[in-house]
Amino acid sequence: SQVGPRTPPLVEENEVLLRESAGLPDDAGEQFKSEMNREVGKRLGQATGTEVDFERPDVLVLCNVERGDVDVQVNPAFVYGRYRKLVRDIPQTEWPCSDCGGTGKQLGDDGEEPCEGCDGTGYRYETSVEQEIAPHAVDAMDGEEGVFHGAGREDVDALMLGTGRPFVLEVKRPRSRTPDVAELQERINDASDAVEVEGLRLATHEMVERVKELDGDKTYRATVAFDADVTRDELDAAVEELVGATVEQRTPHRVSHRRADKVRTRRVHGVEADYEDARHATLTIDGEGGLYIKELVSGDEGRTDPSLAGLLGVDCEVSALDVVTVEGSAEPFEDEAFFR
């Protein structure tokens, strides 16, 4: 915690006048603000068993001497972990209905009525990874609100399997900052059939930036359908061309409504092909974070180059996509410096 006094302007002015009248230098003695800060902080620490933190305190206590009151600012607490998404067609975070703005209502002939776009729920999807995790953490910390931060996000229709995707749950105004994370993890996993978490740990606020900014590599498993017959040799030759390729991808059509229209360059680290028959194959693709896998397969009408479809000369489509691993490119997401 940290204590900060708000000294009345008259007291500060009198301190200056006292030094001037006594012929003392400006830095003589201790200022009222410093002494009050030390004494109040010492007594608060003794009463609560806490220590001062000048960099980022859990709680900031502002004492207003003039008004005779105290303002308490409680900073957020953070929980790090990895999640697996076990069902398709749920997003990572809450997705309010765009038709009603998340209210669940619309105007009809007889006044307000349930929104047709979301059946009155206010959400485009019934649940999300965030909604399966956040309420339990907020409850365990007796907080007011949870904010979900993920290391990227998978498509709504994709599974997140394997080692899971790193995330941080930020809990606003927690009254308890040290929940039993093992118990919290068990509670989340017992309550949800759609999402499971592992490796929950209390984290620092710096972990939010780490999961959002650390360069990552990802492994995907894509079930691919061909629009015309493809031989095993043709598939192997196309895959060989993709391995190590630097891919230029213009923002895909499917996300152009929410992403800037620009060309991104991403690298394909590796591809393995499991040939099933002339119309089907399963690809395991290791790629740089931000690589659009569906478009790497389909070509997205020439917006991705090279692509599997372009190399084969056959229309290709991803019928099912799973994310298998999400790991840091140069270092792991998990670093003891970012845990409490």
Burial readout 223-252 (b: 16 or more C-beta within 10 A, e: otherwise): bbebeeebeeebbeebbebbeebebebbbb
Do residues 282 and 223 make contact, with C-beta atoms less than 8 angstroms apart?
Answer: yes
Do residues 197 and 181 make contact, with C-beta atoms less than 8 angstroms apart?
Answer: no
Which residues partner with 48 through β-bridges?
A: none
Query: What is the Cα–Cα distance from 205 to 188, expressed in whole angstroms?
Result: 22
For the question of residue 193 being annotated catalytic, the response is no
Query: What is the Cα–Cα distance from 253 to 262, expressed in whole angstroms?
Result: 12
Query: What is the Cα–Cα distance from 339 to 156, expressed in whole angstroms?
Result: 30
Q: Is 52 exposed, middle or buried (0-12, 13-18, 19+ CB in 10 A)?
A: middle
Query: What is the Cα–Cα distance from 340 to 338, expressed in whole angstroms?
Result: 7
Q: Catalytic pick from 58, 99, 155, 300?
A: 155
Helices assigned H by DSSP within the chain: 9-22, 32-48, 129-140, 181-191, 206-213, 232-242, 293-298, 308-312
- Which among 153, 149, 94 has a CA at the least distance from the CA of 338? 149
Query: What is the Cα–Cα distance from 151 to 137, expressed in whole angstroms?
Result: 19
Q: What is the CA radius of gyration of the chain?
A: 28
Active site residues per annotation: 155
